[in-house]
Amino acid sequence: MKALIVIDMLEDFVHGALANPRAEAILEPLGRLLSHARSEGWVVVFSNDAHEPGDPELSIWGEHAMADTPGAQVIRELEPNPNERELLCPKRAYGAFDGTDLDARLRQLGVDEVVLSGQHTHICVRHTAYGALRRGYAITVPSDAVCAFEGVDEQDALDYLRSVYGARITAVAELIHEPAAVRQ
């Protein structure tokens, strides 16, 4: 069973405090992948920064995506529809598994492969990939549904995920058209 993990597609990371011009370009493919995941019955997870004052990384980036503020909301284009297979999973560090109950929730739902999307390829996607590797999940990353900050080499960031975490680097169209047998 696959889980699509949508990482930090939040107001502050698209339009606000840490706005990334590259984020606009992934919205369309990510939206298509999200629709596909929902229609195929994948688990969907929105892994969202929800910081509290004093969280260590705030000293690096400044305040962003503070819990219960508008900046910490998932952008309207990707509106979550929380239910037993679509989870909102707040986090206070880079990785989706760090200090959260995500692993237990995915195991309960029979997930053995995570499809990572969102931001940023070289930071939160990367730390989530490490968390997934450590816990034994297969890792897939559609390159057109993730983005790094401007000025960061996207290909280097993807190569790292492939060479260090064994991630399968693919594309949204490929994932959507994969035959069911391959999809499991």
Q: Which residues form the interface with Zn ion (CB under 5 A)?
A: 49
The residue written with tokens 């992934």 in the block is 26
Q: Considering beta carbons, is residue 22 or 51 the nearer one to Zn ion?
A: 51
C-beta neighbour count of 32 within 10 angstroms: 16
Q: Considering beta carbons, is residue 49 or 144 the nearer one to Zn ion?
A: 49
Nearest distance from residue 92's CB to Zn ion, in Å?
Answer: 8
Nearest distance from residue 163's CB to Zn ion, in Å?
Answer: 25
Q: Considering beta carbons, is residue 54 or 110 the nearer one to Zn ion?
A: 54
Nearest distance from residue 146's CB to Zn ion, in Å?
Answer: 16
Nearest distance from residue 65's CB to Zn ion, in Å?
Answer: 6
Q: Considering beta carbons, is residue 2 or 127 the nearer one to Zn ion?
A: 127
d(CA 157, CA 93): 19
Q: Which residues contact 3 (CB under 8 A, 6 or more apart)?
A: 42, 43, 44, 45, 106, 109, 111, 113, 114, 115
Residue of this chain nearest to Zn ion (CB atom): 49
Q: Which residues contact 73 (CB under 8 A, 6 or more apart)?
A: 10, 11
Q: Would you state the structure tokens that stand for residue 28, as one six-digit string? A: 């369309």
Q: Would you state the structure tokens that stand for residue 82, as one six-digit string? A: 């929380």
